[in-house]
Amino acid sequence: MTSVLRRTSSRLLVGGFAAAPVAAPAAPAVASVVLVVRGQGAFDTPFESTRTATGVEGLFVTVPAEIARTLPTLERGREGAPDLLAVQSSAVASVFAHPTGDEVLPIGGFTGTGPSPTLQQLRADVAAGEFHLVLAFPSADPRIRWVARSCRALTGATPPFQDFFCVPADAAKP
């Protein structure tokens, strides 16, 4: 019985070694086929979950496309200001700054470690006309609360975001 097991395991081992040169290149080939079938490209990840693929699609395809549609309106609302707009968080600022190359003032950082204007700096920027448009979501942050109290609320932002239009005179408001 032991000799039968040894011969069987030897055959399986030899068969495994014989199959390795064929199986090793098969994984990348299968991955490539999966990407093609899904209509994905070279920078997509094969075998990722549907949830992950949907999240990546939303973040890197859907959101930038939506932002691109808003750019003409933002440019009109800019009214010659040096900065395109101010937004709550550097993560949100990046989605506007990247496609345009324009300055977008982040009010608050994604991790809290990046440079961020104080309330006094924000008011000074409004007074100087550095930007007019502010995109934020409801927050206890004193800077966002000041914008919500002092600047004119606009309509049209997708909830939970709110948008505001600030003019230099708003900087004098408490």
Q: What is the pLDDT of residues 110-127, one digit of tens each?
A: 666 677 899 999 999 999
Q: Give the torsion sign (CA, 39, 45, 50, 55).
A: negative
What is the model's pLDDT at position 43? 65
The residue-averaged pLDDT of 80-96 equals 88
**How many whole angstroms separate alpha carbon 143 and alpha carbon 113?**
17
**What would the two tokens of residue 30 be?**
């299968």
Query: Do the beta carbons of residue 134 and residue 87 sit within 8 Å?
Result: yes
Pairing of the two strands 152-154 and 104-107: unpaired
Query: Do the beta carbons of residue 85 and residue 131 sit within 8 Å?
Result: yes
The mean pLDDT value of the chain amounts to 79
> End-to-end alpha-carbon separation of the chain, Å?
92
Sheet strands (E) in the chain:
85-88, 104-107, 133-136, 152-154, 162-165
What is the model's pLDDT at position 75? 86
Most confident of 2-6, 63-67, 116-120, 125-129: 125-129
The residue-averaged pLDDT of 133-161 equals 89
The residue-averaged pLDDT of 31-47 equals 69
**How many whole angstroms separate alpha carbon 93 and alpha carbon 172?**
26
What is the model's pLDDT at position 5? 44
**How many whole angstroms separate alpha carbon 89 and alpha carbon 105?**
9
pTM of the model: 0.67
What is the model's pLDDT at position 7? 52
Percent of the chain past pLDDT 90, that is, above it, reads 33
